[in-house]
Amino acid sequence: MAVADDGTVYVTRPEEKDLIALNEGASEPRVIASGLEGIHGIAIRNDRIFLATVHAVMAADLNEDATIGMLETIVDDLPDGGQHGRRTLAFAPDGALHINVGSSCDACFESSDEKAANLRLDLKDKKRTVFAKGLRNMLGFDWHPETRVMWGVDHGVDHLGDELPGEELNRIEQGKHYGWPFCYGDRQPDWASFTMPEDAPKDEFCRTKTVGPALTFDAHASVINIRFYNAEQFPEEYRHDAFVTLRGSANRSDPVGYKVVRVMFDKGEPTGTEDFLTGLLSDDHKSEYGRISGLAITPEGSLLVSEDANGVIYKISYKGGDK
């Protein structure tokens, strides 16, 4: 999801291969663009909308009637998708467009340095570089409103059982390696994986050449998105904290996730988490009622949360009084 300055909510739907526009009070969404195979990533900046498919990034002007102009292809050679073909987009404070390209597998050697990586695209000269790597599938990333530090949420590998590894919140810095496919957790060597780094033994590589997570969530909770709250509607203590969606585990005997958590930040650093939106998993963990994914903030400061199993978007607003 992405929200324009006028409050229009734009949503990509990969299965329907389209882009829709939603306005509060309207009876039905409007299809704005269709026939977009692999559509997923979306971002808005300076009255332009940017969309990503598996291989391409496109852009178009936003019109006053919430339609879009002709789509222009900016990039047409992103790597193949494989296991993680959903691309995500977000703009850095300096105006560069960042693109997530997930790994093609659980743990393997990749054919391209641009896989399992966050890419940085300069829109002026179209120059594309690998910003950070060793990220299995960092679908969600955002910048802290005060420090302008980039933070991203990454998926752990599947083959280490129910309890390992925890999903990650990482401080993303240019040129850093975040461990995949050689390491998990706090720079622990993944001896169950056959992959070996070229320039050092695996344990030494993990210890000296990678960055561990700043915070972890339950293993296999399927962390999807992160959005810092920089609006004024919610109470002051929410300002500059982050919301994170945990879509829910699909490969764990005791399900976890199915919620939105708040990550508290103090002086630009994460200090802990608390549940914010729950109720999509039964108390006995045997029934699920939805799987949440996207986050967006409206111009008036409400939080939008998309739930893609039932095709709904929740709007969470604060009206004052008791929390």
Query: Tokens in use for 242?
Result: 């982050």
The answer to the question of residue 323 being in a domain is: no
**Do residues 61 and 132 share a domain?**
no
Q: Please enumerate in sequence order all residues whose Cβ is within 8 A of that of 122, keeping only pairs 6 or more positions apart, or say none.
A: 96, 128
Domain that holds residue 33: 1-77
322 within domain boundaries: no
Of 36, 62, 77, at which residue does a domain stop? 77
Residue 151 CA, distance from chain mean position: 10
pTM of the predicted protein model: 0.95
Kindly provide the b/e burial profile for residues 220-232, where b requires at least 16 CB atoms within 10 angstroms of the residue's own CB.
Answer: bbbbbbbbbbbbe
Q: What is the helix (H) or strand (E) element at residue 204, kind and residue range? A: helix 202-209
69/67 Cα distance (integer angstroms) = 7
Per-residue pLDDT of the chain (323 residues; tens, 9 = 90+): 999 999 999 999 999 999 999 988 777 899 999 999 999 999 999 999 999 999 999 999 999 999 999 999 999 999 998 889 999 999 999 999 999 999 999 999 998 999 999 999 999 988 999 999 999 999 999 999 999 999 999 999 999 999 999 999 999 999 999 999 999 999 999 999 999 999 899 999 999 999 999 999 999 999 999 999 999 999 999 999 999 999 999 888 899 999 999 999 999 999 999 999 999 999 998 899 999 999 999 999 999 999 999 999 999 999 875 54
Q: Is 180 domain-assigned? A: yes
**CB of 181 closer than 8 Å to CB of 116:** yes
Quote the number of domains for the chain. Answer: 2
Measured CA to CA, the distance from residue 128 to residue 148 in angstroms comes to 21
Residues 106 and 229 in one domain: yes
Examine residue 176 and state whether it is found in any structural domain, yes or no.
Answer: yes
174 & 131 share domain: yes
Task: Locate 222 and state its tokens.
Answer: 């399927």
The answer to whether residues 121 and 64 belong to one domain is no
Q: Say if residue 226 is in the same domain as residue 307.
A: yes
